[in-house]
Chains A and B, each alone.
Chain A
Amino acid sequence: MSKVALKAGARLKSAVSDVQVMAIKIPAGEYEITCGGVPMVGASDEAPAGASMDAGDSGETLMGKRYVDEGETVEFLCTKAGAGSLALDGKPLDVKQAKQLPSSD
């Protein structure tokens, strides 16, 4: 399994580090989400044994940050920080620039 169908609210965890994310915005379709170059798994699934992080990935995924693709059509929220960068179908996801949200509290 590499590509999976995801919907907003879905929780994923890294197979190679502590990273956990939640899908905030995601158009219908099938995707491969990786952390440290290795496909992420469902939050309640067992991580496959023996997987190891892409040696060239020195990135980190940061708590509470929103990660988006270039066109901001997909958005993931990091709910647990850890080692490894996020990528969608091989393209890296970047931290979304925080914007002022209209908030009442």
Chain B
Amino acid sequence: MLLDMAAEAFGDRTAVVCGDQRLTFAELREKAQRAAKLFQDGGAEYVALLDTNGPVLPVAIFGAAYAGVPYVPLNYRLTRGEINELVQRVKPCQLIVGDQFRAQVDDDEQVNMIATQDVLGLSGEVEEIDGAMVDPESVAVQLFTSGTTGKPKAALLRHENLVSYIIGTVEFGSAEETDGVLVTVPPYHVAGIAAVLSSTYACRRMVQIESFDPKLWLDTCRNEQTTSGFLVPTMIGRIVEYLDAQCEELNAPSLKAIAYGGGKMPLATIQRAMQLFPNVDFTNAYGLTETSSTIVVLTPDDHRTAANSDDPAVQRRLGSAGQPTGAVEIEIRDDNGQAVGANEVGMIYVRGGQVAGEYKEQGSQLDADGWFCTKDLGFFDDGGYLFIDGRADDVIVRGAENISPGEVEDVLREHPAVADVAVAAMPDEEWGEAVAAAVVLKDGATADEAELQALVRERLRSSRVPQTILFKDELPYNDMGKVLRRVIRQEFAALVQA
């Protein structure tokens, strides 16, 4: 439906650009409908994709929708074993696979592999498929979560969830002819899917790069004259570092807006980025796979107001997620499930049409009133700005006291010698769990354990002081820039056992 609308109103506009490949909205619809025919004739239960960003991404998403079959993007960065495990969970399927990943997949008679080039190269008569006929309650997308806490879960997003998100947050055809969004998030992330749907509905040109690199991002932005971009905080950090190291300026006058999300943005990075790009509007988006992406945004005005304010309460909003979009309701609840007031930390609950909150194996996780527990902790300030306080699973329970790793990390990060830090629980005989920190020092800088402990003791309560600090060359991250606390926890646990 979304693509039909775009193709009918703005069929001649460029929909997607990747390298020297270009498709208009009308061409995209033709290709998606040919692909849908192929998927229907193949009779599989899923359409999976194992490839990097490219025009095949919107073709597969919309083709699967026309065919009425769930679309399942797979993470090509996983190991061969992990990839095959996921493929086994969606067979019988049609698997669209890029040439460089073909060897990663085991042969299986229920897995029909189709090369990306063959999907894009389909020709012949287009059989018109009416996008309005797709059942809104059917599953549009099945996304495997990153599985930071265990086996990846299969999150289900139904057509009605995605349509609710798009219609609640985007105005149809709102893009100007010259607009273009530079997309760098990987196809297997919910932001990658949201980007395709939002761009299509806004009738905006989408410029893809296969995988992120700061120089490639800057070059593409300048050459394609893109007007906006979506990045994860780590990518913004790398662009800022690159520009500072090269003593180069942004020099991309077309760029008007950058949105970011997917992980916590370090305060220093966003401050530096705002200095380097004074004419760019920054938006922070907080959301989850299970909520069809964004539910809270910190707008460009919020960024500027916070950066220019003398009031500490307003200043610190630069580190907040912002305010709920009009499409959802958000509530903070305590351990007993009771809603709490401003400035009280609790579990973040969300409700709305875009909130799917459903897994294939575990079923719907919504409560009787339609609320979904994000398992993220946070609080609203007096102005209704949401601050995210980390994952509930990451909370350190020392004695009877709950300690959020984030607050200890924020203090340690202020030390001039500290480049990066992750705080996690460590098993402790006396307290059950104790606070431990993994610290990466800046090149050539020094700091010892006692000095860092003293800093935390001075700024926070003594219970927050890390009893062990491990100095490391780097911290483990997943490719969306989320630090893997699970890995760090295991390291500390091993330390105790030894």
Contact = CB atoms under 8 A, between A and B. Distances in A.
Contacts of B163: 9, 22
B4 A104 contact: no
B169 A63 contact: no
Interface string B1-18: 100110011000000000
Interface in B260-287: 261, 283, 285, 287
Interface residues of A, number: 22
Contacts of B133: 43-44
B370 to A, nearest CB: 13
A83 B176 CA distance: 26
13 contacts: A11-B132, A22-B163, A24-B167, A43-B132, A63-B9, A64-B5, A64-B9, A64-B173, A98-B174, A102-B297, A104-B285, A105-B191, A105-B259
Interface in B346-367: 353
B481 to A, nearest CB: 16
Interface of B: 1, 4-5, 8-9, 132-133, 136, 160, 163-164, 167-174, 181, 191, 194-195, 198-199, 228, 230, 259, 261, 283, 285, 287, 293-294, 297, 299, 323, 325-326, 353
Contacts of B199: 105
Given A104-B230, A104-B297, A105-B259, A81 B8 contact: yes
A101 B171 contact: yes
A103 B8 contact: no
Shortest beta-carbon contacts, A-B, top 6: A64-B172, A104-B285, A105-B198, A104-B294, A104-B259, A102-B297
A63 B8 contact: yes
A105 B172 contact: no
A4 interface: no
Nearest to B183: A105
Contacts of A64: 5, 9, 171-173
A5 interface: no
B299 A102 contact: yes
Interface in A2-55: 8-9, 11, 13, 20, 22, 24, 43-44
B246 to A, nearest CB: 28
B8 A101 contact: no
A interface, by DSSP: helix, strand, loop or mixed? loop
Interface in A46-105: 63-65, 77, 79-81, 98, 101-105
Contacts, number: 83
A9 B136 contact: yes
Contacts of B172: 63-65, 77
Contacts of A79: 1, 4-5, 132
B171 A98 contact: yes
Nearest to A63: B9
Given A64-B172, A81-B8, A102 B230 contact: no
A105 B194 contact: yes
Nearest to A99: B171
Contacts of A80: 4-5, 8, 132
Contacts of A13: 132
Nearest to A104: B285
A24 B171 CA distance: 13
Contacts of A81: 8-9
Nearest to B228: A105
Contact of B5 (A63, A98, A103): A63
B165 to A, nearest CB: 10
A101 B283 CA distance: 13
A63 B173 contact: yes
B6 to A, nearest CB: 9
A105 B190 CA distance: 12
A77 B168 CA distance: 11
A3 B254 CA distance: 51
Given A63-B5, A64-B5, A80-B5, 13 more contacts: A11-B136, A64-B171, A65-B172, A77-B167, A79-B4, A101-B169, A103-B294, A103-B325, A104-B261, A104-B285, A104-B294, A105-B195, A105-B230
A44 B261 CA distance: 39
Contact of B326 (A20, A43, A98, A102): A102
B180 to A, nearest CB: 13
A87 B29 CA distance: 31
Contacts of B4: 79-80
